[in-house]
């Protein structure tokens, strides 16, 4: 079991945008979030899980979870999976089970990963 507690402002996945229809990019805030969570994970995780993975993700923000600005459950999960890809697991396709919950509180992520079988 891998447990991570990341004291950073969660940023949900944002759709890739285009610049005049030619260049594709993720918003700067999202890229910074992915990079920071990746570095936090590298400090804890020595090698990626190789088998099927279950994730339990708790997302905390100062906003109430029902707020439209909080972010959708699936977008928070995608942001975390993208950030941990190649660090906690070889590929996010290994994740076969996910439990995500949204909470009001001091901004942070609590992540548990377990290799199944």
Domains annotated on the chain, with CATH: 2-115 (3.30.1330.70)
Give the pair of three-digit tokens for residue 113.
């990963």
Is the pTM higher than 0.75? Answer: yes
pLDDT of residue 29: 87
Per-chain mean pLDDT for the chain:
92
Distance (Å, rounded) from C-alpha 13 to C-alpha 90? 20
Checking if the pLDDT of 7 tops 80, the result is: yes
Rg (CA), the chain: 14
Q: What is the pLDDT of residues 85-98, one digit of tens each?
A: 999 999 999 999 99
């Amino acid at each position: 079991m891998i447990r991570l507690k990341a004291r950073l402002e969660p940023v949900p996945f944002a759709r890739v945008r285009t610049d005049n229809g030619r260049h594709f990019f993720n918003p700067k805030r999202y890229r910074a979030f992915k990079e920071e969570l990746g570095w936090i994970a590298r400090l804890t995780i020595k090698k990626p899980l190789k088998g099927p993975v279950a994730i339990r993700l708790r997302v905390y923000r100062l906003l109430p979870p029902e707020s439209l600005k909080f972010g959708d459950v699936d977008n928070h999960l995608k942001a975390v999976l993208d950030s941990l890809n190649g660090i906690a697991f070889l590929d996010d396709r290994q994740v076969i089970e996910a439990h995500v919950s949204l909470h009001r509180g001091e901004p942070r992520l609590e992540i548990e990963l377990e290799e199944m079988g």
